[in-house]
Amino acid sequence: MTTVNASGKHHKTDKLPQKITDQLTDTENEQLKVLTNYVYDRLNNDPSGHDWWHIYRVVCLANQIVSQENGDRFIVLLAALVHDVIDDKLVNDPKLAEKALEAELSRVGLSEKQVTAIMVIITNMSYRKSLDHKNHSLSIEGQIVQDADRLDANGAMGIVRTMIYGGHKGHILYDPSNPARDTMTLEEYKHGSVTTINHLYEKIIHLKDLMNTKTGKKLAEGRHQYLLDFLEEFHAEWDGLR
């Protein structure tokens, strides 16, 4: 296993805020920089709402949450950073992507324990895992990253990203004759919502109640209210009442 060069100087990535990199050691900053470029190269041009700026926001949110909760900050930051590079919405072969990511994590000098911790988090944190009726227990680090990812799926950003993804998949915006589903199986979820607005009701509106940490729950409150206000306004305007 090789390690990245840690010369005693801070080599901080220019793609993440200094408030994050200042809290890491020289070696951790070297590793973070290499992995940031790895993720950036793969997701920067993503058109589905899972692009680099989504990653940026999740990393920042995860850093904010871990500052208030107990957890290994470095594992939290790295898991937040790489969580979408194996997502089956973005890659043709998730298992192959997992192997490539594990190799890259090892190449930059992470220990086997660190690699395992990160991979367990990112392979068990997705929303669809909550629909398969299995117990996917997450570490506190995993809970923090999951909260950060779900926060970016809520509120103003969640609405915008839902619209982007719906357009990317060719979904129609709304059809009153096709009401949102109250419950979904994993297979039904995989096939997507009938309309983009339905997705807000079928998934996004439930995220507030699925937050793990005290900090995540607090941050979710305002975003959830924004979503409710948007839906009220949307239906009023749809019906020509405003």
pLDDT per position in the chain (242 positions), as tens? 434 444 444 456 789 999 999 999 999 999 999 999 999 999 999 999 999 999 999 999 999 999 999 899 999 999 999 999 999 999 999 999 999 999 999 999 999 999 999 999 999 999 877 766 566 789 999 999 999 999 999 999 999 999 999 999 999 999 999 999 888 776 776 676 789 999 999 999 999 999 999 999 999 999 999 999 999 999 999 999 99
Distances (CA, A) of 120 to 72, 85, 91, 126, 219: 15, 14, 18, 11, 25
pLDDT for residue 6 = 44
Q: What per-residue string of b and e applies to 21-42 under the rule 16 or more CB within 10 Å gives b?
A: beebeebbbbbbbbbbebbbeb
CA 189, 226, 121, 164 dihedral sign is positive
| Chain centre to alpha carbon of residue 176 | 30
pLDDT for residue 1 = 40
E strand spans, the chain: none
Q: What percent of the chain has pLDDT over 70?
A: 91
pLDDT for residue 219 = 98
Q: Which two tokens stand for residue 113?
A: 């324990």
Q: What is the pTM of this model?
A: 0.91
pLDDT for residue 137 = 85
Contact 105, 118 (CB under 8 A): yes
Q: What is the pLDDT of residues 1-33, one digit of tens each?
A: 434 444 444 456 789 999 999 999 999 999 999
pLDDT for residue 11 = 53
pLDDT for residue 134 = 65
pLDDT for residue 5 = 46
